[in-house]
Structure 1
């Protein structure tokens, strides 16, 4: 019998906090490109770190800022689509399970989850949990929260994941039975993600939040800020430490950093390499660096020109100067990728795929084969997608040497995700880490994935995604995921040059925080554990 998460295979990457500076300027990088110099890989190591134990101080008001802010900000877990949404929702809601700092699913609102076959799952709810309005948590709340994702009218970002829920029923006030369409031993990790946070039965008004989470929603102003006050009846003893958290959205990166350095903010997300050096030199700030599966990717739509030509896509792949981007744009804060979304430290990583090189001769060959020598195309970039502007500029410079006229158009970040992402023939995306490959592939690569960025469709890939969920033999499962990576590597038109370390900054007054590989800002849950020194 599977007892909670004992048989679930999850990523356990080490976390990181320090790195050596790389003394290569961006101007120097362009000179290297112009001279045709290819830099060696020489990846920089990531040592482990630890924290001295301190006694938390209770109380205080912490002000933090994420890099996302728009009128589409939401308190509905079914519609969350960025790190700001995820962080806000984890303030006010809980999941049935939650991911710890090793990406292992742990009990949360579900005291236990048992399954003998991966199809029928029995959940026993934690007693004594109440919503912010005082109502006790019941099985019906869980049934409603999970079932609503299957309703097309809800427009849930997790609708393809929820398709596997064949039946969800209450077995008494404190027990839930989930029957899947087929075995999935990743279910405990899946239930820990933000879309599946638990709402009160019948919740439809998301101008406010009524959850079981560590903070009670005091204010929610989309595009501006959210304010939470401490939930005195929180079911976790001793948490949270803070009296109040103000979560702001500031899309301008220099403004975020300056607000942190001036003391207006205590904590911010999404630092650039230059910001890290600046904050460390000051001595009054700490850096959270999490080695994760986060990446920025160049999306070439496969359903329109020029991306509907496989040789054009291959030419673009051979033009990726991965080592140069890592050492200059990222200043070493990341790892080389190979055009698949699985990082090299993942236990399911396909190490047999040859690393695609930076090879301009092959790029010219495929461009000529496509009949596109001299082609003119536009790459859309935007600030706040790490490396997108610089990556586009690099491609523009490299394109000149292979017979391609690439122009870079930088557009405002505000409205980018609704106006440009997944719509432009060539543009950039930014993907936060997912706890399982099933979730990553189901949301971004399956033919019917809600965020199928390139419009790639591969029936063999779709079948493998479904089959791998129910495969308990880890060797067979690894082979399946290896085959899926091969299909992406060979024919998908999303170009992934690097995996990017998640970089957050905080005042030395902030304690209790550490890097988690599940996402920025302690897996979007810093507010539950942070405290302010006296």
Structure 2
């Protein structure tokens, strides 16, 4: 049996794509009644904590994008631009001196100073914080504040992706206060919107930051997020006008939205990618040959066609949306479909007739569909993959505990290959859920981040891609195409490859 796009639509059935036109979208007025001061967003999942130093879930990062800000941002050409830092200089490859923007205040009314910046990054580096992103700041030796507006970072070695690291959501600036703030349960940032209220699994309201530093921003008075895990309900809500904006994942839903009166569908290929990951410390996937065998058996383009209707591109460890950092997937080992070779590797490893379980979070229908196609394709080499479908909170808990044989998810690449690879594939790195360890990969990843020369880094990362693809800690599938359905009276919401939700501060409703 070969699962194709039509089969997946049948499997999904009414449950995932039915247009539940009469479904309730929660408390409050509809988007059509809300007027121009409010944008109502249908959100697929509740945040899993708010702390920038700890979050890994997209459902949390979506809030951080508009409530918090970073020192640096990147434009569509991949060039660093001022954000909370109005300028910076680097007299050598080890010292970065930032001058902070004047007139920036936190939501509690406190002026942002250099002490807040120092506190933010000292906190990430502090082992007591247990930040998921601490390894990204390992090259930072010291952070010193000089007056209110000058911050100096001293590095222990050159760090090529330093500015890209400072632009990431986990680098959001938080306030230093006399009384500790529980950043997991609340948000106090400098962003265009501030947290007004949150009712778990129902609704979160953000309101305008009245002292925001950027003139005439934000445009709206309020963002209201209604938690609607079911994609059919989100689609129905945007079609009826109960919400202004929502995300979609299932291409069937996307097609349906595109034919709906008053609805506009936006799509953007992102720097995220889908993957089927292995637990490299759990038998039989502690054997590289077994992982290689399964990688050889998977037709990635067939997954793109069946699950995503041909949207997106097959990817290696570095996504093609990062431009020339990536190399053609045809040059990567274990990418050409070779079922005979896969079967031979399994036989040599003593794993013919292998059975294992794939952990899948049901919040994302495409995860389930990817797992179904993988399950189907592996039957060709006598491998049985059993799907273990769980709700999203359980998936996150087990992912963090490394309690799985394999899993399907997506990963973020940010705007630099170091962000894509180091946290996930360096030995004992903070989000290395694969528990993967490879001396050559570690050596190359160290080399890639300890020089600022782009040509040298590019050559290094292309070697890293080959090494990771050969070791196969994951089956890298394809880039993630993000889909958004909006009412046609929404303007200014502009998805980008790496940053989307930040544009909500420029979004309006007519």
Query: Shared fold by TM > 0.5?
Result: yes
Q: Select which of 245, 263, 275 maps to 1:285.
A: 263
User: What whole-Å deviation, never above 9, does each CA across 1:31-65 have from its counterpart, x for those lacking one?
Assistant: xxxxxxxxxxxxxxxxxxxxxxxxxxx95111113
SS of equivalent to 1:291? strand
Query: Contact 1:447 / 1:456 at 8 angstroms: preserved in 2?
Result: yes
Distance 1:475 1:433, change over 3 A: closer
Pair 1:528 & 2:505 matched:
yes
Aligned counterparts of 1:406 and 1:205: Cα–Cα separation in 2: 41
In structure 2, what is the equivalent of residue 398 of structure 1? 377
Aligned counterparts of 2:413 and 2:243: Cα–Cα separation in 1: 25
Q: Select which of 24, 37, 41 maps to 1:64.
A: 41
Query: How big is the shift at 1:452?
Result: 0.8
In structure 2, what is the equivalent of residue 415 of structure 1? 394
Pair 1:486 & 2:472 matched:
no
Give the alignment of 1:455-474 within 5 angstroms. Answer: 455-474=435-454
Distance 1:197 1:222, change over 3 A: farther
Query: How big is the shift at 1:75?
Result: 2.5
Distance 1:147 1:457, change over 3 A: same
User: What whole-Å deviation, never above 9, does each CA across 1:165-223 have from its counterpart, x for those lacking one?
Assistant: 21101111111111111112432221111111111113523343222110122113444
Pair 1:497 & 2:477 matched:
yes
In structure 2, what is the equivalent of residue 299 of structure 1? 277
Aligned counterparts of 2:319 and 2:188: Cα–Cα separation in 1: 36
User: What whole-Å deviation, never above 9, does each CA across 1:119-163 have from its counterpart, x for those lacking one?
Assistant: 100100111112222222111111101110011221212111122
In structure 1, what is the equivalent of residue 347 of structure 2? 368
Pair 1:131 & 2:110 matched:
no
Query: How big is the shift at 1:396?
Result: 2.5
Tell me how large the CA RMSD over aligned residues is: 2.2
User: What whole-Å deviation, never above 9, does each CA across 1:213-251 have from its counterpart, x for those lacking one?
Assistant: 101221134444321111121111111101100123332
Pair 1:377 & 2:344 matched:
no
Query: Contact 1:382 / 1:411 at 8 angstroms: preserved in 2?
Result: yes
In structure 2, what is the equivalent of residue 357 of structure 1? 336
Pair 1:150 & 2:129 matched:
no
Query: Contact 1:456 / 1:492 at 8 angstroms: preserved in 2?
Result: no
Distance 1:350 1:438, change over 3 A: same
Q: Select which of 283, 288, 310 maps to 2:288.
A: 310
Distance 1:307 1:96, change over 3 A: same
In structure 1, what is the equivalent of residue 176 of structure 2? 201
Distance 1:329 1:119, change over 3 A: same
Query: How big is the shift at 1:420?
Result: 4.5
Bigger mean CA offset, 344-353 vs 227-236: 344-353
Aligned counterparts of 1:186 and 1:362: Cα–Cα separation in 2: 38
Aligned counterparts of 2:380 and 2:370: Cα–Cα separation in 1: 16
- Any unmatched runs of 5+ in structure 1? 1-23, 31-57
Distance 1:261 1:306, change over 3 A: same
SS of equivalent to 2:324? coil
- Any unmatched runs of 5+ in structure 2? 11-34
Distance 1:508 1:102, change over 3 A: farther
Query: How big is the shift at 1:281?
Result: 0.9
Query: How big is the shift at 1:355?
Result: 7.2
Aligned counterparts of 1:165 and 1:492: Cα–Cα separation in 2: 31
Aligned counterparts of 2:472 and 2:302: Cα–Cα separation in 1: 23
Bigger mean CA offset, 143-152 vs 247-256: 247-256
Query: How big is the shift at 1:345?
Result: 5.4
In structure 1, what is the equivalent of residue 489 of structure 2? 509
Aligned counterparts of 2:158 and 2:67: Cα–Cα separation in 1: 31
Query: How big is the shift at 1:84?
Result: 2.1
SS of equivalent to 1:286? strand
Aligned counterparts of 2:201 and 2:64: Cα–Cα separation in 1: 15
Aligned counterparts of 2:227 and 2:443: Cα–Cα separation in 1: 39
Aligned counterparts of 2:7 and 2:201: Cα–Cα separation in 1: 36
Q: Select which of 77, 96, 101 maps to 2:71.
A: 96
Query: Contact 1:118 / 1:470 at 8 angstroms: preserved in 2?
Result: no
In structure 2, what is the equivalent of residue 441 of structure 1? 421
User: What whole-Å deviation, never above 9, does each CA across 1:302-341 have from its counterpart, x for those lacking one?
Assistant: 1111101222212211221212111121012210124x24
Aligned counterparts of 1:29 and 1:91: Cα–Cα separation in 2: 35
Query: How big is the shift at 1:28?
Result: 9.0
In structure 1, what is the equivalent of residue 146 of structure 2? 171
Give the TM-score, by structure 2 length.
Answer: 0.88
